[in-house]
């Protein structure tokens, strides 16, 4: 994995989610332009952006953060799979109108 600072391709300070820990991050303005830390895998393929905390962390800390994020995402996948297997009951139009009353 390689983390590099690059100029952003979108305008302004749009927040992004860190691909490593999942935290919200915003670009940094330096020398009149905005830059963001970009993560590439070992094959040089773009994986996402990194927050300032992860950029400043030691490699061992980043591995721990990735493991924690993997654990959270696996739990979410399990919850979503459970939901996907359930019958979906939508509110009727009458129930929706009652909620506004």
pLDDT at 32 (0 to 100) = 83
Please name which of 28, 17, 72 lies closest in space to residue 50, comparing C-alpha atoms. Answer: 17
Torsion sign (Cα): 69, 74, 77, 83: negative
pLDDT at 15 (0 to 100) = 85
Torsion sign (Cα): 29, 61, 43, 18: negative
pLDDT at 66 (0 to 100) = 95
Q: What is the mean pLDDT of each run of 10 residues along the chain (101 residues)?
A: 89 83 90 91 96 96 95 95 94 84 65
How do residues 29-54 score in pLDDT, each as one tens digit? Answer: 888 888 999 999 999 999 999 999 99
């Amino acid at each position: 994995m390689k983390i590099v600072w690059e100029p952003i391709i979108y305008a302004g300070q749009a927040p992004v989610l860190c691909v490593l820990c999942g935290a919200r991050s915003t670009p940094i303005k330096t020398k009149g332009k905005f830059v963001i830390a970009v993560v590439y895998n070992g094959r040089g393929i773009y994986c996402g952006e990194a927050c300032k905390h992860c950029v400043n962390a030691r490699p061992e800390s980043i591995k721990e953060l990735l493991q924690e994020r993997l654990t959270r995402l696996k739990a979410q996948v399990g919850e979503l799979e459970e939901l996907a297997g359930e019958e979906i009951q939508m509110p009727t139009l009458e129930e929706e109108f009652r909620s506004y009353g």
